[in-house]
Structure 1
Amino acid sequence: MCKKANKIISIEIDKNLYNLAKSKFYDEKNLTLEYGDGFKSNHSFTIFISNLPYSKSRKSIEWLLQKNFSRAVIMVQKEFADKLLSSKNHTAISILTNYGFQLKIIMDVKKSNFYPVPKVDSVVIFLTQKKIVSKTIISTVNRMFSYRRKTLQNVLKQFGINSTSKERLDDLSGDEIIKIAKKIIRN
């Protein structure tokens, strides 16, 4: 990447990997290596490339949704990517991801490619930003999905809005859910 990009900022939370990268790439003039949590960084970026911690995939996607950038290439657990791409049984994170990004899987990564071998397969996904998603939209959609088994009438009641709709969130499209979230925020 150093040969292709004008500037790279790499942030590594694992001290051993940080030290290894520092010793290996010390002479790369366009590379800035930092030790720390990249999700606490205030750096702006155009392209985001990461092997996300699988335990923080959802939190990472929600963080990315709020950033202004062009595209991202990230590796995630295959099961998580399937959840993001599911047209049935949608979840809050799949609704938010499809609202903020255009998403496609660009390659499968088998667990046998790692040492030690993990229990799960991975995929590399490509995200193109469609729009920045506010923290308010994210938290509202997440809160709506905490009532996903209730009727829309009962969900909206939790937000102080009267409705007679007997539909459930699972019956609605992602666009309809986002529209309702915006209505809740305006209320």
Structure 2
Amino acid sequence: DRVIAVEKDRGMVELLKNEYEFNNVEIYHGDFLKTDFTFDCCISSIPYSIASKIIFKLLEKKHEYSVLLLQKEYAEKMTEMESRLGIMVNALADIEIIDSVNRKCFYPVPKVDSVIVKLIPERKINSPFFSETVRILFQHKRKKVINALIDSSKELGLDKKDARSVFSKMKYREERVFKLDLEKIEEISEFLEKILKNRNQEKPV
């Protein structure tokens, strides 16, 4: 099988090329976020500071699975459905924490523990407005859905009076944002998409 190793640090690239010689391994010097490889699986210890950017880029790609070393706290948020991160990742993949890695396994010893996570891409949501709906709602995650949307009415092109009238007819309006599951958010997304589409059609040309 062919293996492509992507490394941004030039010094590390030279070290890998000098120390490890395998006929099936290609060491690529570059930024993963700017690459466009096709691949069957990804196994990586990714920089924790840009974990979200890398994970969502991976999930845009058709592949079998990714196995990633992540900060424990971050990985736990990915598995929770009460955060924007958790909702978005779960909408695109099945997630499993398969092992833990104690901080003492690294040198120098970091301040955080790590875990190994397996992500299997599986798109569960098809609404094109889903991501924007999640962003808008989770700006006010502790509020009821109707209040969160009214507070974000300007972003939706509505004044607060119109927003209150429109959202008073919506399902799940009295539920807390952080208690919503994928299916409920998708329904809210479809409702918002329909409302905005109708309003755009009503605008004079």
> TM-score by structure 1 length?
0.84
CA distance in 2, matches of 1:178, 1:57: 25
For the pair 1:130 / 2:122, whether they are aligned, the reply is yes
Contact 2:67 2:118 (C-alpha < 8 Å) held by counterparts: yes
Aligned ranges 1:92-103 → 2 under 5 Å: 92-103=84-95
- 1:139 deviates by 4.1
**Secondary structure in 2 aligned to 1:104?**
strand
Aligned twin of 2:145? 152
For the pair 1:114 / 2:106, whether they are aligned, the reply is yes
Aligned ranges 1:11-50 → 2 under 5 Å: 11-25=6-20, 27-50=21-44
- 1:132 deviates by 8.0
Report which of the two structures shows the higher radius of gyration computed on alpha carbons: 2
CA distance in 2, matches of 1:54, 1:15: 19
CA distance in 1, matches of 2:2, 2:48: 27
Contact 1:11 1:33 (C-alpha < 8 Å) held by counterparts: yes
Structure 1 residues 33 and 143, CA, compared in 2 at 3 Å: closer, same or farther?
farther
Contact 1:11 1:38 (C-alpha < 8 Å) held by counterparts: yes
Structure 1 residues 124 and 182, CA, compared in 2 at 3 Å: closer, same or farther?
farther
Aligned twin of 1:173? 181
- Percent of pairs identical after alignment? 30
Gaps of 5+ in 1: 1-5
CA distance in 2, matches of 1:46, 1:132: 20
Structure 1 residues 52 and 185, CA, compared in 2 at 3 Å: closer, same or farther?
farther
**Secondary structure in 2 aligned to 1:142?**
helix
CA distance in 1, matches of 2:189, 2:13: 41
**Residues 55-114 of structure 1, C-alpha deviation per residue, up to 9 Å, x if partnerless?**
112222222232211100000000011111225xx1111011112111111110000000
Residue identity in the other structure for 1:54? Y
Aligned twin of 2:201? none
> TM-score by structure 2 length?
0.77
Alignment RMSD: 2.3
Q: Which has the higher helix share?
A: 2
Structure 1 residues 182 and 42, CA, compared in 2 at 3 Å: closer, same or farther?
farther
Aligned ranges 1:37-116 → 2 under 5 Å: 37-87=31-81, 90-116=82-108
Residue identity in the other structure for 1:61? I
